[in-house]
Structure 1
Amino acid sequence: MEPFVIITGASSGLGKELAIQLAAKQHNIILVARNEKSLLEVKMLIEEQYKVNVIVLPIDLSIAENALKLYDQVISLNVAISSLINNAGVGLYGEFKETSLEEELKMIELNISSLVALTKVFIQYFLKNGGGKIMNIASLLSFLPFPYFSVYSATKSFVLSFTETVAAELEGTNVAVLALCPGTIDTPFHSDKMWNTNAYQTNKPMPVEKVAIAGVKLLEKGKGKTIVGFNNWFISNLPRLTPDFIMIKIKKYLASQKK
């Protein structure tokens, strides 16, 4: 049997679209997310259209210990794994003094702890089994942390930093660790308040298909990071060119609600 690509957060949005585009290139897929019903719908769609093998593993990765349970489940399948895409993640918008601590701690578990655990165990797996690729989904906010997205921005800054340092450690091996850095994507990920920020109005959300195309290309390339879209690349470089006191005002304006 041909190897499988694991995609977390695969029941909707970018994860679902990555699964579809990889299946179109005849990759077998392991779909991971909490919602089993949605995963089964994606599985049916892919299998009918592309005639590849799709396995569904429903699990809640906002509980970090479940990352290791997921790994055990994958190993018990007795199939080869070629790549892991750590796409699962959540966001939260609002003033930090008022946002839900419970939601933020779950966000850290999902966006950071589970990602770190899965990256570690699959690096070890790939080193023992002929190599592989891990693609972590970072963000434009990895470069440009926004007010009102305080914990989310911090998790995505972590993801990029972690990915780049681990990739450097693995240079010269048969394991690649990559970072995809999209800006806003037109998916159900966003709340109404997020949609109403100046940032979303001035830098229009990108179609999920376009972001997934960039992700597939990065996975095939197997090296480095990709900032999706010229506008996002330009914005990501603003902090290098702009004094901090001006940059803070720009970020606060972009993250604020449109009047």
Structure 2
Amino acid sequence: MKDLVLVTGASTGIGYEMAKLLAAQKLDLVLVARSAQKLAELKKELENEHGVQVWVFDQDLSKEANSVLLYETVKAAGLQVTMLVNNAGMGVYGDFMETPLLEELQMINLNISALVILTKLFGNDMKENAYGRILNVASLLSFLPFPYYSVYSATKAFVLAFSETIAAELEDSGVVVNTLCPGPVDTPFTTREMLGTNAYKTNKPVSPMIVAKVGADLLLKGKGKKIVGFNNWFISNLPRVTPDFLMMKIKKKLASPVIKKMYN
């Protein structure tokens, strides 16, 4: 059986670069994002350059019903997904009492609900076949609850905890669940205001291709969680040696309360 990889958030950033890397390895793809035009362009590019088959579905996964609809549509098309990359995500940056509630609820739907739904539905198919791999994209902030990213960092902490526990439950089932934890990435997610903060001055965003290479390797043959880059690994371990009250003061100083919506 030839592998078929479904990638959400495939039109830009990490998902876009992962799609190109996986296609270069002759893997067929199911690509999902909100932009039908970008997906169509990417489909044409990958099929022409690598001779793979690419199916595209434009879905807004911040609407909970669309995740179930995506699964049903993929199944109706006769496609059997053997690998899943839950990459789609969004964030809201700013003082929690001032940020738009609707955007935060959409973020919870996309970062958590969509990921859980797709993991359960496609994961059950994989379990029945005793074969499959799932990569969930978390964040450096999974380890660091960060002021002004309050809901975002909480959703990514969920992704990490959920992924590690599901991985344990599926041990010896033939289904492997891994977690990718990047730090700042140079994508539309990162705004000019964020780049001006102390946090981004000391930990500069990296190319999405760097993260995608780590992610593709982890998806295809890795195990467990992977923090991208030594600097991010070091930062993720600071809470182990720094008192909570001091750590939160440091993080608050690093961040600035600028309200901004971002997507990855």
TM-score range, shorter chain: over 0.9
Q: Which residue of 1 is the match for residue 5 of structure 2?
A: 5
How much has 1:257 moved relative to structure 2? 6.8
- Say which SS state the counterpart of residue 223 (structure 1) adopts: coil
Q: Which residue of 2 is the match for residue 47 of structure 1?
A: 47
Q: Quick one: which amino acid aligns to residue 91 of structure 2? A: G
CA distance in 1, matches of 2:234, 2:218: 19
* TM alignment of 1:17-56, pairs within 5 A: 17-56=17-56
CA distance in 2, matches of 1:6, 1:101: 30
Q: Are the equivalent residues in 1 in contact too, given 2:11–2:35 (CA < 8 A)?
A: yes
CA distance in 1, matches of 2:240, 2:100: 33
Q: Are the equivalent residues in 1 in contact too, given 2:148–2:257 (CA < 8 A)?
A: no
- Say which SS state the counterpart of residue 6 (structure 2) adopts: strand
Indicate whether 1:101 and 2:101 are aligned: yes
Q: Which residue of 2 is the match for residue 86 of structure 1?
A: 86
Q: Which residue of 1 is the match for residue 189 of structure 2?
A: 189
Query: Per-residue displacement from partner, 1:53-78 (whole Å, max 9, x unpaired)?
Result: 11111111001111111001111121
| Length-normalised TM-score, structure 1 | 0.96
Q: Which residue of 1 is the match for residue 219 of structure 2?
A: 219
- Say which SS state the counterpart of residue 92 (structure 1) adopts: strand
Percent identity reads 57
For structure 2, list consecutive stretches of 5 or more residues without a partner in the other structure.
Answer: 259-264
How much has 1:79 moved relative to structure 2? 2.5
Q: Which residue of 1 is the match for residue 66 of structure 2?
A: 66
CA distance in 1, matches of 2:49, 2:198: 39
For structure 1, list consecutive stretches of 5 or more residues without a partner in the other structure.
Answer: none
Over aligned residues, Cα RMSD in angstroms? 1.4
How much has 1:25 moved relative to structure 2? 0.7
Indicate whether 1:144 and 2:144 are aligned: yes
The total of aligned residue pairs comes to 258
Q: Which residue of 2 is the match for residue 238 of structure 1?
A: 238
| Length-normalised TM-score, structure 2 | 0.95
CA distance in 2, matches of 1:214, 1:17: 11
- Say which SS state the counterpart of residue 245 (structure 1) adopts: helix
How much has 1:187 moved relative to structure 2? 0.9
Regions of 4+ moved over 3 Å: none
Q: Which has the higher contact order (CA 8 A, sep 6+)?
A: 2
CA distance in 1, matches of 2:222, 2:132: 9
